Structure 1
Amino acid sequence: MDIFDFPPIAALLDGASTALAALGGVVTPGVAIVLVTIAIRTALIPLALATVRAEGHRRRLAPRIAQLRSRFARQPDRLQRETLALYAAEKVSPIAGLLPGLAQAPVLTLVYALFTSPTIDGHANALLSATFLGAPLGRHLIAATSGFLATDGVAIALLVVIAIVAGLSRRAARRIAVPLDPAQQGIADLLSWTPFLTVIFAAIVPLAATVYLAVSTSWTLVERAVMRRVLWAR
């Protein structure tokens, strides 16, 4: 059984489809996705603020963390306990940076389902015929292996935008990164490339989800730059 046919999930999809179709009656479906993305990211501003504050706290605590690493270099378990204790004492969450992404995961899954399911709650999915700048919102760029369409240029352009944003995000993250020991630095350098995984993901999901990712990642880049400038200047 397809999980999207499970009654509660099917009802949720049907409600989301109806709402998006209603918004699509005022603007085009593609613009509706952009507006919904902006609304979602606006609602997530408190989580983003918590993330940027946590980044600032980690930068502030970096010298003390370095001291702990030096003191307990041969006691990794003790180092972990002392580090977590320091975070707790300073009321800093080590997972704050993950919260906005985790909060968006259900939304991205919903968008994916809305533009891949042939039927929603027992009726034909009308959203599959919707377009963005003339490109079908339900089309996967990977489907272009069977022949490119002129409208696939829209998806390619969005992928370029996402790749540029990923590069700028990586550079910004490396600029504000706190010093680490050599072993951890190697892992951090590897993880710094993870924003580019979004490009790969955007290439295999429907164009509707690619639109969402392009708007959301661009929002994150600008949002973090503004928040760091304002909050860290205090």
Structure 2
Amino acid sequence: MSVFASLVEQLADLLQPLFGLSAAAAAIILFTAFVRLLVHPLSRAAARGQKARARIQPRIAELRRRHGRNPEKLQRALLDLHTREKVSPLAGILPSLFQLPAFFVLYHLFSSDTIGGRPNGLLGHELFTAPLGGRWADALGDGGPFGGPGLVYAGLFAVVAAVAALGYRLTRRSMAANAALSGPFGGGSGAEQAPGAGAVGAVIRAMPFMSFLTLVTVAVVPLAAALYIATSTAWGVVERAVLYR
């Protein structure tokens, strides 16, 4: 973690002439963009996988109608289909999984008072007037929602909400396209659906709203980690809009 801290500090020093006291915040945004650029090939693979899954939706619907009363046979048939078509159900989550280490390192970096036995100098950096190691609750206690730190968070929440709204629209559009291909849950009546389809359906219907959970995360993590989440989420939404168009 000390190596990562040194990297952020050096990057902040390079950006200091342009961003002043907010140079560390700019360094975090730039670092996040670099991480997203590294995982972009995985995102492209996930997009290809999503398009392949959309292409085989009618065949999945047929399998569900044929084997809906036999869950084990249905699962084997679905696995065989995905294997033949070289479609991995896990491809869509790989970009997120590969970003987790960077997020957790950043989270712990701005949650620790010391690094390698030395005082954590990064905690003295700010985004405008909000400390990068602080949280929304700290901002509310330091001048309230209309104080300097509170207004920084208000702006961040506005950005995250706008990105979440765009993510919501993209998810709804993707779900509508899949439903047009195969109908809800692969078509068929309630008797033909596999057991548990109702619960799965509830989760699927809630999926578009998952984008707004980012607001909760931004409110409870250190501001530095919140910047990472906001930047990564914005990158991800733009990436989806381009790759899934």
Matches within 5 A, 1:62-77: 62-77=57-72
Aligned to 2:193: none
Q: How many residues are paired up?
A: 217
In structure 1, runs of 5+ residues without a counterpart are: 1-12, 230-234
> Which residue number corresponds to residue 61 of structure 1?
56
1:203 matched to which residue of 2?
219
Aligned counterparts of 1:166 and 1:32: Cα–Cα separation in 2: 23
Tell me if structure 1 keeps the 8 A contact 2:129–2:148.
Answer: no
Q: Corresponding residue for 1:18?
A: 6
Of 87, 97, 108, the residue aligned with 1:113 is: 108
Shift of 1:156: 2.1
User: How far off is 1:145 after superposition?
Assistant: 4.7
- In 1: Cα distance, 2:226 partner to 2:153 partner: 7
RMSD: 1.4
- Partner amino acid, structure 1, of 2:161: A
For residues 14 and 140 of structure 2, the distance between their equivalents in structure 1, rounded to whole angstroms, comes to: 34
Secondary structure, counterpart of 1:117 in structure 2: coil
Greater shift, 141-150 or 219-228, is seen at: 141-150
* TM-score of the superposed pair, with normalisation by structure 2: 0.84
Alpha carbons of structure 1 residues 171 and 56: separation in structure 2 relative to 1, 3 Å: same
**DSSP-derived class of the 2:148 partner:** coil
Aligned to 1:218: 234
Q: Could you tell me which residue of structure 2 aligns to residue 188 of structure 1?
A: 204
> Structure 2 CA distance, aligned partners of 1:84 and 1:166?
33
Identity, % of aligned positions: 38
Question: Is this contact kept in 2: 1:108–1:209, CA < 8 A?
Answer: yes
Contact 2:130 2:139 in 1 (8 A): no
1:192 CA displacement: 2.8
Deviations 1:170-224 (A, max 9, x none): 2211211223326233220123322222211111011111111111111111111
Q: Which residue of 2 aligns with 1:130?
A: 125
Q: Check if 1:98 corresponds to 2:93.
A: yes
CA spacing shift, 1:176–1:43, aligned 2, 3 Å: same
Q: Which secondary structure does the structure 2 equivalent of 1:192 belong to?
A: helix
CA contact (8 A) 1:14 1:121 kept: yes
**Counterpart code for 1:205:** V
| Structure 1 CA distance for aligned equivalents of residues 30 and 237 of structure 2 | 18
Aligned to 1:36: 31
| TM-score (normalizing by structure 1) | 0.88
Other structure's SS at 2:240 match = helix
Aligned equivalents of 1:133, 1:145: Cα separation in 2: 16
